[in-house]
Every structure is written in C-alpha cells, then in structure tokens.
Homo-oligomer: A and B are copies of this chain.
Amino acid sequence: MIALLLRDLRLATRAGGGFGLGLAFFLMVAVLVPLGVGPEAATLSRIAPGILWVGALLACLLSLDRLFALDFEDGSLDLLATAPIPLEGMVAVKGLAHWLVTGLPLTAISPVLGLLMHLAPAGYPWLVLALALGTPALSMIGAFGAALTVGLKRGGLLMSLLVLPMYVPTLIFGADLVTRGAQGQATTTPLLFLAAVTLGSAAVLPFAAAQALRMNLR
C-alpha cells in the first residue's frame, strides 16, 4: 500500500505527471472570473467564496480524470486487481495520493486567490479551514466517479457529469461556511455538516469505488 502511495506520488511529480497543474487551474478560475465579470471590488468580494469553491471543485475534478484511467489503459489495473492488495485499500490510497497532490496545495494557496477575488479579511481563516475540511471529500467522491467511468475513452467529461451533482453538498456547506465566516456570522452548522460529508465519504466510498472497479474489469 505504501508502495502504491509512493508510486502515485512519484508519478505525479515526474515530468508530465500533473503536479501543480491543479493549482494552476485554480488560479486560472480566480483570474478568469473577474475578467468575465468585471473589475468592481464590491461584486467580486460578494461572490468570492462561491467562485473560489467552484474553482477548487473544478481543479479537483480535472486532475481526477485519469486517476484510474491511466492504470486501466496500460494494463496495471488488471494486474493490481490480481495482486494481494484489497481493491478497497487501493482506492483509498489513490484517493489519498490525489488529495496530497491537489487538495492540499490548493488549500495552501487559497488565501492568495482570496486576495485576487477581494475576499473580506475575516474570511481568510475560514476559507482555509473549509478547503482543508472539504477537499478530502472531493478527492474521495471523485475517486468513485473515476472508478465508474474507468473503461471509457473520453470518460473524463462523463465523469464530470456524474461527479458534479455529488459535489453539491460539499460545495454548499463549504461556500456557506466561508460566506458566514467572512461576514462574521455563526459557522457551527455548516462546519459540522462539512465534516460529516467528508468523514462519510471517506468511510463508505472506497468500498463502492472498489466494487465499481471490479465491475469495470470484467
């Protein structure tokens, strides 16, 4: 399992592995939205929490695309399925590796993007907290989506379609947490819900994803 984690991290940081690109995409969204919406600080600061969360979500999604697909295409997945690692463990490890490579750095640079979007000063700690709590759920849900669509060429977009609705609760609680934080309102409810979504996903989804993989391998 550790070997798998190390391999995935190594693959990600090797040339062309895509490390940092999730980040870059997050940055893009934070840059493009003002370009589209216009430069007024008031509007931007109003929509900042929502847009940043949508950006984080899309960045996760894009890099998820090939979570299992590459292994499927080159035959590794067949071989891993016959290896002495439980498939559930494999999914969990791959989800973790994905989070380490996208969710974590994303959380780390989010304050800078908050700046670009004119987020209210009180919102910064909440933004970081919300992303740190919520992105693991994004990775796990995404892993499930990736497992469902693994056999399909151009599965990426289909996967987006399957995964995005599942991202809705995380998005709503996450964005709400940041909005309330920025406005200095009570934050306990969205905080608890966000934590619940993440814990639930991490507990249940590896099993569902492993099952989906088994079905796809037949």
- Count of identical protomers in the assembly: 2
Contact with B along A149-170 (1 / 0, CB 8 A): 0001111111011001101100
A172 closest partner in B (C-beta): B35
| A5-31 near B? 1/0 per residue, CB < 8 Å | 000000000001110011011001100
Q: How large is the interface on A (under 10, 10 to 19, 20 to 34, 35 or more residues)?
A: 35 or more
Q: Is there contact, CB below 8 Å, between B43 and A46?
A: yes
Chain B residues with CB under 8 Å of A49's CB are 36-37
Q: State in angstroms the CA–CA spacing of A165 and B155 once bound together.
A: 26
Q: Which residues of B contact A165 (CB under 8 A)?
A: 28
Any B CB within 8 A of the CB of A97: no
For residue A18, which residue of chain B has the nearest CB? Answer: B154
Residue of B nearest to A158 (CB): B21
17 residue pairs bridging A and B, Cβ less than 8 Å apart = A16-B152, A16-B158, A17-B153, A18-B157, A18-B158, A21-B157, A25-B157, A33-B54, A35-B50, A35-B168, A36-B50, A36-B172, A37-B46, A37-B47, A37-B51, A70-B154, A73-B73
